[in-house]
């Protein structure tokens, strides 16, 4: 009889489960309502402002290299293309798009077509990949005025870059140390480190983004890259522009 009573959940444990379930639902509702009000605010700003994309020109200090991490299960190529066009409007010429599964990396032509629909002949796109010695260059049609460099990255690039750096160090018969690998990675990945990294999807994680490239990087978050308003992107750049970056001093 005593053994049967032990197997039955106590009143306290059942009460605790109910309380936790209620708290979870309250937290979920709070997050949902916060998201709704957030989108409503930016939707009103979008309707109020004239040519909101043009206001990106007014940002005083912008990142030289912007990285964007996508954690959502579905990628919207139209919205990613919109982000690239906004980067061009803001004067950001180096952009890294990191999607750990490699969806963007494998679909560069689809991404290019989406960009051309939004901004035909405004600027050229040059795609890069750390996993290849060569980069792919694709220009938008007709009158090309400026160039935006887009690095398409995936989780495999971090591991591949380290293996390639170790292989080169072995070929030159140099001891493999943390410093030598770091120097070789800088040569292999000769882009400037990202000044700003935006995490899309509400997940507080870099998802394996190249760790050696984040030493001096500022971080920001977006609920999602789907159906973005220009003011969402502009607010992040405005916050970055007033950030005092001391670079470790």
User: What's the rounded mean pLDDT across residues 231-245?
Assistant: 88
C-alpha distance from residue 147 to each of 94, 96, 140, 152, 212 (Å): 9, 14, 10, 16, 26
Whether the pLDDT of residue 234 is over 80: the answer is yes
User: What's the rounded mean pLDDT across residues 56-79?
Assistant: 90
pLDDT score recorded for residue 216: 80
C-alpha distance from residue 136 to each of 26, 71, 85, 95, 120 (Å): 49, 25, 19, 15, 19
Residues paired with residue 149 on neighbouring β-strands, in sequence order? 94, 126
Share above pLDDT 70 across residues of the chain, in percent, rounded to a whole number: 72
Tens of pLDDT, residues 13-34: 888 899 999 999 999 898 888 8
Whether the pLDDT of residue 48 is over 90: the answer is no
Tens of pLDDT, residues 118-175: 887 778 888 887 654 444 444 443 444 578 999 998 887 765 555 565 666 566 655 6
């Amino acid at each position: 009889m005593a053994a049967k009573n032990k197997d039955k959940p106590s009143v306290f444990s059942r009460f605790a489960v109910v309380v936790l379930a209620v708290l979870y639902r309250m937290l979920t509702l709070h997050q949902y309502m916060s998201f709704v009000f957030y989108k409503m605010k930016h939707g009103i700003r979008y309707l109020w402002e004239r040519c909101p994309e043009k206001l990106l020109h007014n940002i005083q200090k912008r990142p030289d290299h912007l990285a964007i991490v996508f954690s959502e299960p579905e990628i919207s190529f139209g919205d990613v293309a919109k982000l690239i066009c906004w980067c061009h409007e803001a004067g950001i010429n180096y952009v890294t798009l990191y999607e750990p599964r490699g969806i963007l990396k494998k679909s560069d032509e689809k991404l290019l077509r989406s960009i051309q629909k939004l901004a035909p002949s405004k600027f050229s796109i040059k795609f890069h990949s750390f996993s290849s010695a060569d980069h792919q260059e694709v220009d938008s049609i007709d009158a090309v005025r400026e160039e935006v460099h887009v690095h398409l990255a995936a989780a495999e690039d971090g591991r591949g870059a380290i293996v390639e750096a170790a292989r080169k160090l072995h070929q030159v018969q140099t001891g493999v140390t943390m410093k030598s690998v770091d120097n070789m990675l800088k040569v292999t990945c000769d882009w400037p480190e990202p000044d700003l990294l935006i995490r899309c999807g509400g997940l507080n994680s870099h998802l394996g983004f190249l760790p050696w490239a984040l030493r001096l990087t500022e971080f920001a978050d977006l609920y999602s890259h789907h159906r973005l308003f220009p003011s969402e992107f502009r607010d992040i750049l405005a916050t970055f522009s007033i950030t005092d970056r001391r670079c470790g001093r």
